[in-house]
């Protein structure tokens, strides 16, 4: 039986890797997740046949309850809220890895004498426990932030010092467990410190950096799973966890690179909180425009580029925006969508939303592909985007977003900005683009304004 289970695990792991490979090309992406899903079901079923297992009632109950909650919440969540759901489910995985470690450590504390576990097993269990727990509490904070339950980046004096103290405490208790002895009191203290560290590391991070952080926690959970795989002698967990750890690390790097922010800065820097430079007054004034006038501008343009941001997602305006774009295309206007790598709350977030609305791929362009085109564009429609079009990133070395590549919307002949109200973007920085002479502000809800634009174009 044992070897048959091993064969199933082997097939499952192969399906995971092939599935992940498939997911990295748009054409086969959907098959990829189905393959991985088949692998997961097979591995789960096989595990019921592992010899000498007990507590099947509890096991089945936990699977049914957990699956039920996740299935319903996953199906119900709006596309706009996907990023925080990923954070949430990732946190669950980290918590599971930590709980496995807890069970194993509790076992070890129970039988000091006939120590069946080797030293290295305990050390790996402890390492997986730290990583999993930090990923668990950190992901929950990331979820709370993106969900809007925790608005601000929380900072207090001597924060770095406090983090350091907790970190040192966590590592020392971990080292004690791993090298000196396993004791139940210390186990509890150790997990509390790890929970606290995950929270403390995540609360000061601004919302704009969240995607990078979630990706990092994703990689960490993978690593924790791999470590617990070593402890349980389970090759499927080792391989799948490590693959995710490596892939997640690379993804994190790609994202951080797109934002031009080294990962160390994201974690230990102070994005959006630096004083001085960011507070600087922007010259000029905000010039409002009404929807019918904006509609005329776009309908008679030759080339229009639409720059969507998180605001579009919040307003659920993607369908209306695409409807409007189709009208413009029928009028002979060349309409393109420009996606900044970190537009929205996650790389690719906007692509997903536009794909949902039915926008074809060839109209959606990356920063590198489209940035040259802004200079020859008649109208740029910015909807719900802010920091990714802020020219301050190019001009003001004092600004916290200085050096981040931006979409050069300010080079276009005209810019129309749909915005719910005055106020700064997620990073809290004033946007110089909004004050430019060729920029007009269209104040209102994204979907409502898109509706009015559709009406305006219709009436021409």
**Least Cβ distance, residue 430 to another protein (angstroms):** 27
Q: Which residue, 228 or 430, is less far from another protein as judged by CB?
A: 228
Find where tokens 């295309």 sit.
329
Instruction: Identify which of 355, 247, 341, 254 has the alpha carbon closest to the alpha carbon of residue 20.
Output: 247
Quote the least distance from Cβ 136 to another protein, whole Å.
8
| Annotated catalytic residue within 334, 387, 410, 445 | 387
- Our CB check for another protein shows the closer of 226 and 297 to be 226
For this structure, is 387 an active site residue? yes
Number of residues in the chain: 460
Q: In the bound complex, what is the minimum distance in angstroms from residue 175's beta carbon to another protein? A: 21
Residue with Cβ nearer another protein (292 or 348): 348
Q: Which is nearer to another protein, 53 or 175 (CB)?
A: 53
| Structure-derived torsion over alpha carbons of residues 367, 373, 378, 379, reported in degrees to the nearest 10 | 0
Cα–Cα distance between 364 and 383 in angstroms, integer? Answer: 15
Which of 178, 429 has the CB closer to another protein? 178
227 forms beta bridges with none
Give percent helix, percent strand, percent coil of the chain, each to the nearest 5.
Answer: 65, 5, 30
Token pair belonging to 55: 């507590």
Distance CA 220, CA 91 (A): 10
Q: Are 146 and 208 in contact (CB under 8 A)?
A: no
CB of 151 to another protein, least distance (A): 23
Closer to another protein by Cβ: residue 9 or 426: 9
If DSSP codes are grouped into helix, strand and coil, which group holds residue 289? coil
Can you tell me the distance from the alpha carbon of 129 to that of 133, in angstroms, rounded to the nearest whole number?
6
- Least distance in Å: CB of 336 to another protein? 15
Q: How far is the CB of 248 from another protein (least distance, A)?
A: 6
Q: Which token pair is 56?
A: 């099947």
Helices (H), 203-337: 210-232, 235-258, 263-268, 291-299, 310-315, 318-330
Q: How many CB atoms lie within 10 A of CB 27?
A: 7
Q: Is 332 left (phi over 0), alpha (psi -120 to 50) or beta?
A: left
Could you give the residue numbers annotated as active site? 387
């Amino acid at each position: 039986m044992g070897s048959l289970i091993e064969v199933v695990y082997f097939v499952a792991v192969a399906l995971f890797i092939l599935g992940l490979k498939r997911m990295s090309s748009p054409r086969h992406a959907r098959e990829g997740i189905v393959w991985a899903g088949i692998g997961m079901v097979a591995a789960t079923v096989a595990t019921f046949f592992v010899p000498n297992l007990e507590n099947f009632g509890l096991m089945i109950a936990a699977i049914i309850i957990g699956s039920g909650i996740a299935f319903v919440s996953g199906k119900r969540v709006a596309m706009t809220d996907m990023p925080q759901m990923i954070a949430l489910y990732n946190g669950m995985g980290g918590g599971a890895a930590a709980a496995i470690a807890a069970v194993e450590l509790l076992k070890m504390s129970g039988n000091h004498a006939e120590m069946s576990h080797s030293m290295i097993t305990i050390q790996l269990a402890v390492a997986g426990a730290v990583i999993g727990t930090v990923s668990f509490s950190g992901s929950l904070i990331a979820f709370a932030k993106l969900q809007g339950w925790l608005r601000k980046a929380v900072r207090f004096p001597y924060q770095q010092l406090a983090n350091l103290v907790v970190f040192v405490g966590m590592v020392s208790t971990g080292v004690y467990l791993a090298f000196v002895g396993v004791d139940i009191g210390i186990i509890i203290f150790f997990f509390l410190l790890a929970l606290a560290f995950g929270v403390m590391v995540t609360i000061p991070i601004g919302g704009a950096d969240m995607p990078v952080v979630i990706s990092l926690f994703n990689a960490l959970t993978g690593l924790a799973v791999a470590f617990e795989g070593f402890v349980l002698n389970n090759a499927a967990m080792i391989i799948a966890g490590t693959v995710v750890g490596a892939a997640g690390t690379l993804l994190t790097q790609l994202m951080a690179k797109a934002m031009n922010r080294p990962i160390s800065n994201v974690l230990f820097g102070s994005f959006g909180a630096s004083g001085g430079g960011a507070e600087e007054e922007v010259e000029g004034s905000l010039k409002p425009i009404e929807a019918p006038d904006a509609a005329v501008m776009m309908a008679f343009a030759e080339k229009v580029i639409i720059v969507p941001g998180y605001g579009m997602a919040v307003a659920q305006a993607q369908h209306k925006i695409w409807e409007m774009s189709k009208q413009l295309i029928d009028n002979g206007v060349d309409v393109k969508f420009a996606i900044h790598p970190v537009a929205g709350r996650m790389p690719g977030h906007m692509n997903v939303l536009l794909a949902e609305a039915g926008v074809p791929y060839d109209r959606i362009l990356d920063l590198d592909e489209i940035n040259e085109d802004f200079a020859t564009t008649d109208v740029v429609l910015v909807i719900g985007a802010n920091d990714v079009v802020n020219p301050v990133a190019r001009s003001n070395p004092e600004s916290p977003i200085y050096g981040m590549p931006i979409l050069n919307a300010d080079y276009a002949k005209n810019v129309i900005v749909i915005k719910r109200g005055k106020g700064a973007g997620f990073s809290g920085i004033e946007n110089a683009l909004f004050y430019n002479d060729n920029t007009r502000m269209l104040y209102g809800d994204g979907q409502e304004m898109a509706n009015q634009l559709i009406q305006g174009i219709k009436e021409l």
